[in-house]
Every structure is written in structure tokens, then in C-alpha cells.
Amino acid sequence: MGDYHFVYKDVEGTSTQWDDIQRKLGNLPEKPPVFKPPAFTPADDEDSKPKDKSWIQNKTQEQLEDLEDDPDLDDDRFLEEYRKKRLAEMREATKVMRFGSVIPISGMDFVREVSQASSDVWVVVFLYKDGIAECGLLLGCLEELATRYPGTKFVKIISTDCIPNYPDRNLPTILVYNNSAVKATYVGLHHFGRRCTTEGVALALCQSDPVLNDGQSGGNQSREAVIEGVRQRFIEKVVTQHEEDNDDAYSSD
């Protein structure tokens, strides 16, 4: 029958009294420190983090739209911040696209739409009659300006609906209103240059006041800044037209 040898192993880091005496005498090396594993720290889980305001603000428009249909987002605080952000974006978009077209009005609408317009809004009133060529020409320019400058309110009204017995020889006429007062009057096309271009109309409207508002500046632009913007648009339009003419010339060769 074989001999069996048992080796008893104590808890790691413990030693016998004999070992301790030998270490004091220098016969054994110092006891190594007991191994201690580092404390467990769970990895960050982005999905489990609270949805705070900064998390909302870092989202793009497309990401926000995707979140609307996410069934896992049931945090009331998150939803409240989300709603606030979307409302703010909607209000800002409404400001930018406040008008954007030449609005037809009647005589009954004039006070509400023009005289009682907000004090921070410039109103360009176009007096016209159908069948007058000059009126059609100027209306085309105003429609383009209304699209470019949605922060400015453009309205059109039949001349005799606005002013009884207003003579056709004075058409087309533009009245510029701000804060319930007439700021400028333009009778006929001669105010806008020989050809009556959109840029010519824009420059004439801004001769004394910053009438045109692109909806991006909050209505705080100076007249000089508005005019400079109009000039820049005119230069870009001329360059684009020149390039298109050259392309057409090459195509025909």
C-alpha cells in the first residue's frame, strides 16, 4: 500500500510563526503583499445615462425625428426637454418663414395687415391694377424679393380699394410702412432704374431705411448692411448669368 502525502495550503498571504521568526532573523525574504484585484467599475452605458438637456441639444434634426418613434424613451424629464427643443426649433423656423410671398389684401384688410402690423416688421404695400404692363413688371420683382426676404411683409392691393379714385397714371405705386406710419412712397417705375430689375427695386427700398429683412438677423441689420447684402446678391446673379451664357455659347459651337 503506497504512502500518501498531504500538503495543506493556508490562505494566500498567511505564514507560520516559524516563518515570521526566520524573516526577523533575515533568513527569509520579506513576505510579498497580498494580491488584491482592482475594484470593479462597470463600463459606461450610453443608453442607460439620464437624458439631460445637453444630450438633447447635441442631436441633429434627423436624429430627433428618429427619437420620436423610440419606444425605450420613457423618461419624463427627457421627453420634456425634447418637447422644449422641438418647440424652440419650430418657433425659429416660423420666424424665418414669417411671410415669403406677396399677400393679396382688400380695403377691409388694410388696417389689420398694414397699419396694425408689428412694430418690428416693415410692410411694402403694392398698389396696382390688372392689365397695366408696368404693374406686372414691378409685381414680378416684388415676388422675387418677398421670397428672398421673408422677414419683410409684402402685400398687394387694387389701387382704388386702397385709395378711392386713385388715378391709374400713378400706377404702379409702392407705400412703405413701419410702426403704423408711411416711411416712403414710390410712384411709377422711374425710381427703380431704366430696366426695373429686382436689384434696382431692392436698392430703392433701402435708400433711407433697412426695409428688407432676410429673417436671419432678427431685424437688427443696419441700412448699410442690407444694401451691401443686396449688392452682393446682384454680383452673384450677374456672375451666374455670365457663366450660363458662356455654357450656352460653348454648347452651340
Helix axes 133-148, 198-205, angle to 10 degrees: 70
Mean pLDDT of the chain: 77
DSSP 74: -
More confident residue, 238 or 81: 81
What's the rounded mean pLDDT across residues 114-141? 94
Least confident of 124-138, 190-204, 239-253: 239-253
More confident residue, 32 or 148: 148
Predicted pLDDT at 89: 64
Q: 27-60 pLDDT, tens per residue? A: 777 777 777 777 777 766 655 555 555 555 566 6
State yes or no: cis peptide before 172, omega within 30 of 0.
yes
Q: 86-106 pLDDT, tens per residue? A: 666 666 655 555 788 999 999
Predicted pLDDT at 189: 93
CA–CA distance, 177 with 154 (Å, rounded to integer): 10
* Residues in Cβ contact with 233 at an 8 Å cutoff, skipping those fewer than 6 apart: 148, 199, 202
As given in the structure block, the three cell numbers for residue 245 are 451664357
When pLDDT is cut at 50, 70 and 90, the band that residue 247 belongs to is low
Predicted pLDDT at 214: 78
When pLDDT is cut at 50, 70 and 90, the band that residue 160 belongs to is very high
CA–CA distance, 100 with 33 (Å, rounded to integer): 78
Angle CA(125)–CA(127)–CA(129) in degrees, nearest 5? 150
